[in-house]
Amino acid sequence: MSERLLTIDNLSVTFGGLHALKNLDFHVDKGEIVSVIGPNGAGKTTFFNMISGMVEPTEGDIVFKGESLIGLDPNQVTARGIARTFQNVRLFANMTILENVMVAQHCRTKQGVFGALFNTGGFKQEEAEIREWGEKVLGFFGSRLVGYRLDQPASVLSYANRRRLEVARAMATKPEVILLDEPVAGMNPRESEELTGLIGQLRDEWGFTIVMIEHDMGVVRDVSDRVVVLDHGETIAQGSYEDVSTNPDVIEAYLGRPAEEAS
């Protein structure tokens, strides 16, 4: 039985009267790929924002490897081992591609002013290691983000490449869990298929645990171990893709009920 990494217990958050999340329970075990799906406005991105520390819950607990994440700053959460991507790609557009994955390693490195000013052996070594890991992470996507690309500003990338860099940046923080927020949004079918395969590789070869928000059911079906369905801030179903896709509550959440049943 693999280790339970992340446990979310009775999580709730209210934004001025709106219950964005209501008594949410959730868990992830090491090595799992869990998809979180649900109609728009279900609270999925809010859910990610709570885990990564950008929003504080009004109730409930988030426990990662035995310690609570409540009240931590986002950078502390990342240091503990949870990385994330953003739904609307938020790269450091004017930094180069390599710099994007180098700066992501900030919490894993420690050289400071002293090392930089005196160009110590430790500084040089750490810079080399940062560069190496950065290139390795970028190499995950084949030849697209390496070579001459390394020194180009991130703003020159095509949309699909930006999404890939977003993922690479999350990988660069050396996390245990990666939260992917709609990783294939806006990609064409071929690109989605490729990324689906890569998500599997992230778990199989690189050892990451993945929690993924997705709308593309093909991707969800192909790669997930487990699917969790949210609607109006609550979990309404959980299980394998087959179970969840035939669950009447889930269908109702997405498609609604026929009119004569409404009253």
Partner 1 sequence: MSAPMATNETLPARAALDQEWRKVVNHGLLLALVLVFVSLANMPVSLDSRMIIEPMLSMGYLSLLWIPVVMGFIVSSEKVLEGIAYHAKGAREVLAGGLVGVIGGLGLSLLVILIDNFNLRDPLVNWSPALLDLLQFGNGIGFGVIIWPVLGFGLGVFGGALHIFTAMTRTIVGWVVGAVLGVAVFETVIIDLLTERLPFEFITDWFYFIRGGLSQQGAVTAALIGGGLGYLRVLAQRGVVPTPVQDYKQLVGPERTRANTIIIITCGVATAILPLLLGRITNELLANVGLFVLLALGLNVVVGLAGILDLGYVAFFAVGGYATAILTSPNRGDSWPDWVPQSHWFAALLVVILLAILTGLFIGAPVIRMRGDYLAIVTLGFGEIIRLLFLSDWLGGYTGGAQGVTNIPGVDLGFVEIKGTDPRAIFYLVAVFCALAIYVSWRLEKSRLGRAWMAIREDESVAEAMGINTVNVKLMAFVVGAVLASFSGAIFAAKVGSIFPTSFIILVSIVILVVVIVGGMGNILGVIAGAAVLIGVLGGPKQPGLLAEFSEFKLLIYGALLIFMMLKRPEGLVPNVRRTRELHQEEFLQDAWLRSQVDADEQDGAASGEVAPA
Partner 2 sequence: MTAAVRSKAAPRTGVDWFLTFMRVGLSFFFISGVIMFVLQQIDPQNPIAGVLNPDATGLTADQFEGLIISGLSQGAMYGLIALGYSMVYGVLGFINFAHGEVFMVGAMTGMITSNKLEEAGLWEDAFFVSLVFIILVAIVCSTATAVIMERVAYRPLRGSPRLIPLITSIGVSFLIQNISIVLLGPGAKAYPSLPEWLSQKRTVLFLEVEGTKLMVILVAAISMAGLWYLVERTKTGRAMRAVAEDKEIASLMGIDVNRTIVTTFAVGGAMAGVAGILWGILFRSVIHTTGFLPGIKAFSAAVVGGIGNLGGAMAGGLTLGSAESLAPLMVLEPWGINGVSQLRDAVAFLVLIFVLLVRPTGLFGERLSAEDRA
Please report, for residues 38, 53, 183, 184, the alpha-carbon distance to residue 251 in angstroms, rounded to integers and kept in the order given.
Answer: 10, 31, 23, 23
Long-range contact pairs involving 155-162 (C-beta distance under 8 Å, separation at least 24): 155/91, 155/93, 155/94, 157/91, 157/97, 159/89, 159/186, 159/187, 160/186, 160/187, 160/188, 160/191, 162/89, 162/91
List all residues 6 or more positions away from 30 whose beta carbon is below 8 Å from its beta carbon.
2, 3, 4, 5, 176, 209
List all residues 6 or more positions away from 173 whose beta carbon is below 8 Å from its beta carbon.
78, 83, 104, 105, 107, 108
Determine if 87 is a binding residue for partner 1 (CB under 8 A).
no
Q: Compute the C-alpha angle 218/224/229, nearest 5°.
A: 85
218: phi then psi, degrees, rounded to nearest 5: -60, -45
- Which of 71, 121, 248, 258 is the binder for partner 2 (CB under 8 A)? 71
Determine if 85 is a binding residue for partner 2 (CB under 8 A).
no
- State the nearest-atom distance from the C-beta of 76 to partner 1, in Å: 8
Determine if 156 is a binding residue for partner 2 (CB under 8 A).
no
- State the nearest-atom distance from the C-beta of 8 to partner 1, in Å: 19
- Which of 74, 153, 200, 239 is the binder for partner 2 (CB under 8 A)? 74
- Which of 54, 93, 128, 217 is the binder for partner 2 (CB under 8 A)? 54
- State the nearest-atom distance from the C-beta of 231 to partner 2, in Å: 20
Comparing CB distances to partner 1, the nearer of 51 and 202 is: 51
Residue 45 binding partner per list partner 1, partner 2, none, with a CB distance cut-off of 5 to 8 Å that depends on partner kind: partner 2
CB of 59 within 8 A of CB of 12? yes
- State the nearest-atom distance from the C-beta of 46 to partner 2, in Å: 9
- Which of 67, 68, 116, 257 is the binder for partner 1 (CB under 8 A)? 116
Determine if 169 is a binding residue for partner 1 (CB under 8 A).
yes
Residue 69 binding partner per list partner 1, partner 2, none, with a CB distance cut-off of 5 to 8 Å that depends on partner kind: none
- Which of 9, 59, 99, 193 is the binder for partner 1 (CB under 8 A)? 99
Q: Which stretch binds partner 1 (CB under 8 A): 13-21, 75-83, 197-205, 237-245?
A: 75-83
The full 3-state SS of 35-84, as one line of letters, equals EEECCCCCCHHHHHHHHCCCCCCCEEEEEECCEECCCCCHHHHHHHCEEE
The site for partner 2 (CB under 8 A) is made up of 15, 45, 49, 54-56, 71, 74
Chain positions contacting partner 1, by CB under 8 A? 52, 54, 73-76, 78-79, 83-84, 86, 90, 92-95, 99, 102-109, 111-113, 115-117, 119, 123, 126-127, 130, 144, 153, 155-160, 169, 173, 188, 190
